[in-house]
């Protein structure tokens, strides 16, 4: 795991809390205003930001994130805009990874993508549709660039798959709390608790739980047994429902602060 990713989780653990991870698509609601939203996240307790690479076929994304991604695509957001968002986070002292389906990375060129990511200050990549046994070349290239590989494990994953992901991952492991797409169902706590236990039996990497996590109550419960909590659709929804960018920034900041407080563990 890269030092930056390790530090995010180590710092949170030292404060007896889980790390708060937030997702927003690049260029949403537009490139200029997206930076203000990223600032609101960082200023209100978010430890790590996932910058989404807008893609026209988002298999894992539910209707809320799809709407935001569509707004970005309609404005012509490209890879350069993804890296600009990553660079902004890094310049403000934050930590950023890119969340992307693998096809846009492949089309851009994996070597070029990793070079540009590192030059922008990014530290990792989450690839929800890439499985480790089909990623050998990507794994080798990412290792050479000291970029963390972050893979997903689902409740339906076999133990063999859990072992494979645990061996290949170099950042943290993304534990999906439920089957399905983002922003539709609520996290299934019992299911993901069992999944986290299965992962811990195979890996010492931090484990962050995402999908269906929207409220401080959910964050509080998940923070008791995971190293990190990932929230995406709730932030996107706050922006979509805001009448203007100032209201959106205020709503995102307020939600981030509420969720950050909920990451505290019960001693």
Catalytic residue annotation: 50, 61
Strand partners, 96: 49
Q: Taking a C-beta distance cutoff of 8 angstroms, is the pair 32, 21 a contact?
A: no
Nearest residue to 198 (alpha-carbon basis) of 159, 246, 161, 225: 159
Note the helical H segments in 175-244: 189-200, 216-223, 233-241
Residue 112 token pair: 């070029």
The alpha carbons of the chain give a radius of gyration, in whole angstroms, of 17
Q: Are 25 and 54 in contact (CB under 8 A)?
A: yes
Chain centroid to CA 57: how far? 18
Sign of CA dihedral 66, 243, 257, 147: positive
């Amino acid at each position: 795991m890269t030092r930056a990713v390790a530090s995010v989780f180590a710092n949170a653990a030292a404060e007896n809390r889980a790390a708060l991870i937030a997702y927003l698509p690049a260029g949403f609601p537009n490139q200029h205003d997206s930076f203000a939203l990223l600032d609101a996240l960082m200023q209100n307790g978010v430890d790590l930001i996932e910058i989404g690479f807008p893609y026209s076929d988002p298999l894992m994304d539910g209707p809320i994130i799809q709407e935001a991604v569509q707004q970005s695509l309609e404005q012509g957001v490209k890879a350069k805009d993804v890296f600009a968002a990553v660079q902004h986070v890094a310049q403000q002292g934050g930590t950023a990874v890119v969340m992307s389906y693998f096809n846009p990375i492949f089309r851009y060129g994996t070597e070029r993508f990793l070079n540009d990511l590192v030059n922008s200050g990014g530290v990792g990549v989450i690839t929800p549709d890439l499985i480790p046994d089909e990623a050998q070349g990507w794994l080798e290239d990412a290792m050479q660039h000291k970029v963390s590989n972050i893979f997903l494990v689902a409740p339906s994953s076999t133990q063999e798959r859990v072992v494979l992901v645990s061996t290949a991952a170099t950042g943290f492991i993304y534990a999906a709390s439920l089957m399905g797409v983002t922003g539709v169902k609520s996290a299934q706590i019992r299911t993901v608790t069992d999944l986290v236990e299965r992962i811990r039996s195979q890996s010492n990497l931090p484990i962050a739980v995402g999908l269906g996590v929207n409220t401080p109550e959910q964050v509080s419960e998940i923070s008791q047994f995971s190293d990190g909590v990932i929230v995406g659709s709730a932030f996107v929804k706050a922006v979509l429902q805001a009448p203007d960018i100032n209201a959106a920034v205020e709503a995102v900041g307020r939600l981030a602060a509420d969720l950050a407080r909920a990451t505290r563990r019960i001693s």
